[in-house]
Amino acid sequence: MERKQSVWVVDDEPNGFEVIELLLRRERYHITYFNSGKEALSRLDTTLADVILLDVMMPEMDGIETCRRIKANANWKPIPIIMVTALDSKEDLARALESGADDFLTKPVNGLELRARVRSMLRIKQQYDALQATINLRRDLSKLVVEDLRQPMSTVLLGSHLLLQSQLESKDRERVEMVHAAGLEIDNIINGLLQLAKMESGRLVLNRVEVDLNELAEVVVANFQAIANSKQIRLVNTLPKKRRWISIDANLFHRLLDNLLSNAIQSSPPGSNVALEINYPDTSESLRQAVIRVSDQGFGTSIDLRQSILDKYEPGSLLSGSSQIGLGLTFCKMVAEAHGGSVAIEDNQPQGLIVTVEI
């Protein structure tokens, strides 16, 4: 049996509800009445509507404030809201729309207009729900594929590690080191995708420990040395002499540094430099614990694309023959924000980009 679409009417005047109920009777919606914004907000914790008809003029909490609170909640935001108002000034209508309302009706309500606007909002909600279901399905399938990759990649890493323990000629050892380094990079990408899935679902819990960020950076740079050498790229590590222990999730920050260096190396031409720099601001003058900068001498990207490449799967301007998506920087942005920090991208003069992470 097909589920009835739910329409909520929020109005402190019961007569207003009775009029709307009468006008919508033949549409066969499941109509629920709330006499205040607070009552509707309370019900949203357990049940979601398909569309809300919200009166503007109500005591205690008016419709504009109720709308603002609904749209501020990520779970409630997709619900279409039609503001019902006796106000006719442009300023009042503008305030209603600025609060997040999707449409509005003026009193006295016209039955034909009411039905048309409700149908329109319900179509939009159905399209959103269908799109969200598709996104969730793709995310679940992607996660399954990524998890299936872990076992064969573990075999590659174990095999290359065992080969490195054996007696190899220098040329063969070089090749195996490259395979092992590339395997580590792919393994980092796999783990990064799984971490992203946890972050997006809200299931990621930071495991904060006191970490020597200098030491962590030295380990990461050493891991990328073979890849950089193979591409004739010089890695420059600039760390402050005075070390500082900071409270972070060590595993997530290890991957953050991995992603920053990996993106910089992929974007850099042979013979160029990739630099990792860490600074510790004076805590008496700044709320930040550390500033991490990774700079390259690649071809950079346009100003318009700098924000978009921090978003998932958005590419920047790439070198010919390279393959890269904005997943690495998306992960960095999410890790930094989880620690109360931020990520920024700027030009590296005379050429290239600087990615700055502040925590």
Whether 304 is covered by a domain: the verdict is yes
| pLDDT tens column, 59-83 | 888 989 999 999 999 889 999 999 9
Whether 294 is covered by a domain: the verdict is yes
| pLDDT tens column, 184-199 | 878 877 776 776 676 6
Q: How many residues does the chain have?
A: 359
Which residues neighbour 142 within 8 Å (Cβ) at sequence distance 6 or greater? 193, 197
Whether 118 is covered by a domain: the verdict is no
Whether 81 is covered by a domain: the verdict is yes
Percent of all residues in the chain with a pLDDT value above 90, rounded to a whole number: 33
| pLDDT, averaged across the chain | 84
158 and 92 together in one domain: no
- How far is residue 247's CA from residue 183's CA, in Å, rounded to a whole number? 29
297 and 346 together in one domain: yes
Q: How confident is the model at residue 298 (pLDDT cuts 50, 70, 90)?
A: confident
201 and 212 together in one domain: no
Tokens representing 246 are 């900071």
234 and 317 together in one domain: yes
Closest CA to 49 of 15, 86, 80, 6: 6
Domain that holds residue 350: 207-359
What's the number of domains the chain is made of? 3
100 and 229 together in one domain: no
Whether 45 is covered by a domain: the verdict is yes
Whether 244 is covered by a domain: the verdict is yes
59 and 176 together in one domain: no
Cβ atoms of residues 305 and 346 within 8 Å: no
CATH of the domain at 102: 3.40.50.2300
161 and 258 together in one domain: no
Beta bridge partners of 342: 358
The residue out of 154, 183, 205 marking a domain boundary is 205
CA 279 to mean position of chain CA atoms: 26
- Judged by phi (left if over 0) then psi (alpha if -120 to 50, else beta), residue 167 lies in beta
Q: How confident is the model at residue 113 (pLDDT cuts 50, 70, 90)?
A: very high
Closest CA to 195 of 290, 309, 312, 295: 312
